[in-house]
Structure 1
Amino acid sequence: MTLLVEQGARTGERPESGRAVVTGIGITAPNGVGVDDYWSACLRGASGIGRLTRFDPSSYPVQLAGEVAPYDPADFLPGRLVPQTDQTTRLALRAVEQALTDAAVDLAGIPPEEIGIVTGNSVGGLEFSQYELEHLWSLGSKHVSAYLSFAWFYAVNSGQLSIRHGLHGPGGVLTGHAAGLDAVAHARRYVRDGRPLVVSGAVDSSLCPLGWVIELSTGRLSRQPDPARAYLPFDVDASGYLPGEGGAIVVWRTPEPSRSGAGPATA
């Protein structure tokens, strides 16, 4: 599937900035990993909300969240990357692999300095940070991983995706509630300015005790214990929100000319 995004005459942009296409999508979500599984879950109305499993939530007033199904990171990451990465980065790496496969793109055929990347992230490697700080408090500084120096940073997803896939062109990271939309907008501008391919999207995860305490401090989490009733954002019985994890990565490209040379290919 290819999505066509058109701008230009209606917005006053210069003509060469008219179009871009999304040619690949990767998803890691609580109710599906991969486009097919995720879309099937959406069509069925399947929720990804359930009781937390990555830590024992029994002592907390809220115990439900949107958690991506457990997996072994060694199944899709090189061994050297596993100890370097937090859950949020592993989910981003899974999503970008899917997106590039979906786009059927050969990155070796594009100069690395022409491939851009922009991601959104709000908290960085919070779970990684918590466990390394626990080592600091209980065992001392010699037991803290050197990878904490970058695994905690909200820009780590852009960095690790860039290193893993040789994305050496313009890049960046955005943070905040609308970071995913902002990342897509920035990627669109890079394509507008002539970059042949840009990877963008947003992935987050903060399902650890530290993240949970931070979320609880808002006073807005739903305390409804029934997973089917806990998160009803547009219902009269809405009782608050629940944290989730995951996100999506998309591949933006300049459109290929049609066979007639009259315009972009849209399928």
Structure 2
Amino acid sequence: MSTPATVSTPATTATAATTATAATATAAPVVTGLAVLAPNGFGTEAFWAATLAGRHGIGELTRLDTTGLRTRLAGEIRDFDATALLPGRLLPQTDVSSRYALVAAEQALADAELDPDSLSDYAQGVCTSTAQGGFEFTHREFRKLWKQGPEFVSVYESFAWFYAVNTGQISIRHKMRGPSAALVGEQAGGLDALGHARRGIRQGTALMLSGGVDSAFDPWGWAAQLSGGRTSPVSDPTRAFLPFDRDASGHLPGEGGAMLVIEDAGSAARRGAPRVLGELAGYAATFDPRPGSGRPPGLRRAAELAIADAGLLPSDIDVVFADAAGSPAADRAEAEAITAVFGPHGVPVTAPKSLFGRLAAGGGPVDTALALLSIRDGVVPATAHTTHVPQEYGLDLVRGEARPLRVRAALVLARGHRGFNAALVVTAPGR
């Protein structure tokens, strides 16, 4: 977490950028592989094609009866066959979220074309984030406890629910014994995991597998997500989640996430990594002051610190992937932070998550994957379904269709419930 500081001005940001450049003369960690599992596309390229085309994955939940509930829509991954994708021995000991994480990890490593024998097992670490843990698994075991007795509870309940289980399962399966961690910061947690992995690379680890995945669509998990009153009650999938729209009524939860292979640039070159998708150039995290303190929220400061950490200026950023909470007050606060950094209409802004929902810890890594794909293909996906952006927001929101744009640097923002803020800057290879 970043240390407290006063809100930066453009002048102090420029000074901080110069300092950051001098302090981080070594090459930024590079991304050599990624995998996305999302409601509108299972696998990176399927997800990317659907997102560019504006195809959503929102619908009524099929895993529970939502009759009479405030929100009945969600971004649900359908037709996921764990038996075809994972060894049978793992199925009794994993929640659906861990299964997503394991599949995404395997796909990301395959995308990076990593030879397991090319690096020492202690040169490879894992850092993941989940906000909800193994909700479905643990609540199933609770029902056994209450209805049948403790002798019917799975022995795997001792760890399958836990926030660190994805890191553990991935590291065991792929023999990654290097520095590893698990972070919890709700929607901001996924970016925090990537930031921590970036730090691990800079401290000498050759490779980190990092990202975030979440799923909580059992009755208890769904009730927990609705309890804060921040979800949308609208029943039309194309009008329920409208980031930065005058008719915004809340968000829709989703499930899934992304995993990225992050490497030291020199090590990646030595092992012959076939491609570099981009660099993790800057990262920062802040925490909001207590309500009523009169102090400003911390998102602007996180953005400025991340840009400075990348050795850049706000004018170097080509696009912002917004947190996009989908409620008027939260959207207005984010718009104010963005315009404070870049000026009114100063940078294209997008929020493709309206196509698949807010993925909790999976949201930041998915947006990071989108940023890297935008760099690769020179196009920025649109904010689907949003039609009327209040003029006072001052946003150049990408709407309607994907926008052709040469992207050399992108800023990804995320905010977790009750004050977490994270910002990540990704840049084109060798920018």
TM-score by length of 2: 0.57
Corresponding position: 1:201 with 2:211: yes
Q: 1:222 and 1:258, CA in 2 relative to 1: closer, same or farther beyond 3 A?
A: closer
Deviation at 1:70, TM superposition (A): 2.5
Query: What is the alpha-carbon distance in structure 2 between the residues aligned to residue 193 and residue 119 of structure 1?
Result: 18
Corresponding position: 1:109 with 2:94: no
Deviation at 1:193, TM superposition (A): 1.6
Match of 1:220 among 230, 240, 245: 230
Question: Any gaps of 5 or more consecutive residues in structure 2?
Answer: 1-16, 277-428
User: What's the secondary structure of 2:23's corresponding residue?
Assistant: coil
Structure with more contact order per residue of length (Cα contacts < 8 Å, sep ≥ 6): 1
Q: CA-atom RMSD, angstroms? A: 2.1
Equivalent position of 2:140 in the other structure: 131
Question: Any gaps of 5 or more consecutive residues in structure 1?
Answer: 1-6
Asked whether the 8 Å contact 1:50–1:65 carries over to 2, the reply is yes
Letter in structure 1 aligned against 2:193: A
User: What's the secondary structure of 1:108's corresponding residue?
Assistant: coil
User: What's the secondary structure of 1:122's corresponding residue?
Assistant: coil
Query: What is the alpha-carbon distance in structure 1 between the residues aligned to residue 83 and residue 18 of structure 2?
Result: 45
User: What's the secondary structure of 2:36's corresponding residue?
Assistant: strand
Query: What is the alpha-carbon distance in structure 1 between the residues aligned to residue 65 and residue 22 of structure 2?
Result: 55
Match of 1:184 among 178, 194, 211: 194
| Sequence identity (%) | 48
Letter in structure 1 aligned against 2:246: V
Corresponding residue pairs, total: 256
Equivalent position of 1:4 in the other structure: none
Corresponding position: 1:229 with 2:239: yes
Cα distance per residue 1:117-146 (max 9 Å; x no partner): 111111110010111100111111111101
Match of 2:86 among 77, 89, 101: 77
Deviation at 1:14, TM superposition (A): 5.1
Deviation at 1:61, TM superposition (A): 2.9
Moved more, 128-137 or 250-259: 250-259
Asked whether the 8 Å contact 2:27–2:265 carries over to 1, the reply is no
TM-score by length of 1: 0.90
Asked whether the 8 Å contact 1:8–1:18 carries over to 2, the reply is no
Query: What is the alpha-carbon distance in structure 2 between the residues aligned to residue 88 and residue 13 of structure 1?
Result: 38
Query: What is the alpha-carbon distance in structure 2 between the residues aligned to residue 197 and residue 48 of structure 1?
Result: 32
Query: What is the alpha-carbon distance in structure 2 between the residues aligned to residue 234 and residue 48 of structure 1?
Result: 20
Corresponding position: 1:247 with 2:257: yes
Q: 1:74 and 1:117, CA in 2 relative to 1: closer, same or farther beyond 3 A?
A: same
Equivalent position of 2:169 in the other structure: 160
Query: What is the alpha-carbon distance in structure 1 between the residues aligned to residue 208 and residue 265 of structure 2?
Result: 12
Q: 1:24 and 1:234, CA in 2 relative to 1: closer, same or farther beyond 3 A?
A: same
